[in-house]
Structure 1
Amino acid sequence: MAVQPIQIKSAIALVTGANRGIGRAFVEALHTAGAQKIYATARNVDSLADVVAIDPARIVPLTLDVTNAEQIAAISQQAQDVNLLINNAGVLGGGDLFIDNSIETAQWEMNVTYFGTLAMTRAFSSILKRNGGGALVNLCSLASYVNVPSVATYSAAKAALHSLTQGTRAQLAAQGTLVVGLYPGPIDTRMAEELPLDKAPTSQVADALLHGLENGIEDIYPDDTAAQVLSGVTEGLKAIEKQFAEMLP
């Protein structure tokens, strides 16, 4: 089955970490673009009240901690109609490699960003297949390609997520699933408020994602910082990714 772009007006989406920041922006952009239904998830479902209030008929709140296997299993049973999965949930512990709790911070970041995304991908890949292939999005980062030493363990988790995105793309191509990596630079969210950098608005990142989905773009650089740093550097790497994707057993 050939991988196809996804039309947002036909989308039934699930967004993890949808209660604030870029996750909320994804929900708002999907709603504005006419998505049929949006499952908005967060660890505390009460934190989704303002998001659901946008349109209670089309936005469905669900409790989900992506590190909780039982909750993932329950969500996958409830949301059998999903054809667009946006793996947005992530955490930023901060600090360099040699702070006292760097190992614990790294484990927390990897558990949410990498293992949580892997668990969601495993749970929903067959659902996407049954619903025509659809699309899966991972919120990666500029830091997926280059380590930012002030947030070194976070960068490592995002690098792992980038690799997972490539592997997922190769393995789900046969079922027609578009697998998208979204690679923003700094975004204007609470998570990044301490970073002394120019930050892109969340709405810009969300709009770039929807444009990319409807045009079948696998790697999206949604802001000037990411585009300037990555667009020229990654061209050769993309060719290698495609070559290695043919080495499936």
Structure 2
Amino acid sequence: MEISNSVALVTGANRGIGREFVAELLKRGAAKIYVAARDTASLKELLREGDSRLVALPLDVTDPDQVAAAAAIAADITLLVNNAGYAAFEGAIAAPNMDDARREMEVNYFGTLSLTRAFAPVLAKTGGGALLNMLSMLALVSLPMAATYSASKSASLSLTRSLRAELGAQGTQVVGVLAVQTETSMGTKLPEPRMTPQEVVTDALDAIQAGTNHEIVAGNQTRAIHEAFVADPKGLQAKMSTRLPQRT
């Protein structure tokens, strides 16, 4: 789809990759961007320059009422960017309890599903449009030190593929973005080197504009890891499996 003159909604728009999505969409001529965050006060810096194309939207993707309200307000979107995410970086057994694991599934999987269900009819009415889901290379390779996050992203990858099949009939393009550690507040918990958010977002939006309708591998660092995975998936998993959670 063409991004110029599009109307987008970006979840988790207040920082990191979400904020970079907003900046790049503006550069590419989006007509309007709903910038969504749980706390709209966190959008203050983003909105400081007063660009009339930006519309603040309070949205907790785990809250059904807020999701429904967002779909009613942003009833003109042509591009939905499911970027909001949560990572505790804990082991499946080493974690003190399952609270963070449940939160990761609620945000990363159920949040993506909820938003997509709410906005699928909107995209259908506006001509099909596009859906972009921020995934992770950890959807393909599990990292024990982020065990339950890996599981949530794996679930989201499977969901993305099913959504692509279901939404194909209404002409909605569905792109899943696989990326490794990125220089964000979340990504700093993972080892260097880290990619920049711009690397990830540029490749993701290039894919949208090119009409891509499958998963893409964003950034040179991700591509190197993905090549290793394709060449020897068991070997890469064995290497990743040595990165165990720190026990206290």
Indicate whether the TM-score tops 0.5. yes
* Cα offsets for 1:155-187 (capped at 9, x unmatched): 000000000000000000010000000001111
- TM-score computed with the length of structure 2 as normaliser: 0.89
Partner residue, 2:127 = 132
Is residue 226 of structure 1 aligned with residue 190 of structure 2? no
Q: Which of 62, 66, 76 lines up with 1:67 in the alignment?
A: 62
Aligned-partner residue type, residue 227 of structure 1: R
The answer on 1:166 being equivalent to 2:175 is no
Query: Would the aligned equivalents of 1:45 and 1:63 in 2 still touch at CA under 8 Å?
Result: yes
C-alpha deviation, 1:210, in angstroms: 1.2
Distance verdict in 2 for CA 1:32–1:156, change over 3 Å: same
Question: Which runs of 5 or more structure 1 residues have no equivalent in the other structure?
Answer: 1-5, 236-249
CA deviation string 1:120-169 (max 9, x = no partner): 00000010000000000100000010101110110000000000000000
Q: Structure 2 CA distance, aligned partners of 1:81 and 1:184?
A: 29
Deviations 1:60-93 (A, max 9, x none): 0110000000001111000010010000001011
Number of residue pairs matched?
Answer: 230
What's the RMSD between the two structures over aligned residues?
A: 1.5
Give the structure 2 partner of residue 177 of structure 1: 172
Q: Which residue in 2 is equivalent to 1:111?
A: 106
Aligned match for 2:150, one of 135, 150, 155: 155
Map 1:29-68; keep pairs closer than 5 Å.
29-68=24-63
Counterparts of 2:95 and 2:194 in 1: how far apart (Å)?
Answer: 29
Which of structure 1's runs of 4+ aligned residues deviate more than 6 A? Answer: none
Alignment partner of 2:19 out of 16, 20, 24: 24
User: Structure 1 length as normaliser, TM-score?
Assistant: 0.89
CA distance in 1 between counterparts of 2:73 and 2:172 reads 21
Alpha-carbon distance change, 117 to 28 in structure 1, aligned in 2, over 3 angstroms: same
**Which residue of the partner structure matches residue 193 of structure 1?**
188
Which residue in the other structure is 1:120 paired with? 115
For residues 47 and 145 of structure 1, the distance between their equivalents in structure 2, rounded to whole angstroms, comes to 32
C-alpha separation in 2, matches of 1:80 and 1:231: 40
Cα pair distance change 1:98/1:232, threshold 3 Å: closer
Amino acid at match of 2:205: L
The worse-fitting range, judged by mean Cα deviation, of 64-73 and 92-101 is 92-101
- Post-superposition CA distance 1:33-75 (Å, at most 9, x none): 1101000000000101111234430010110000000001111
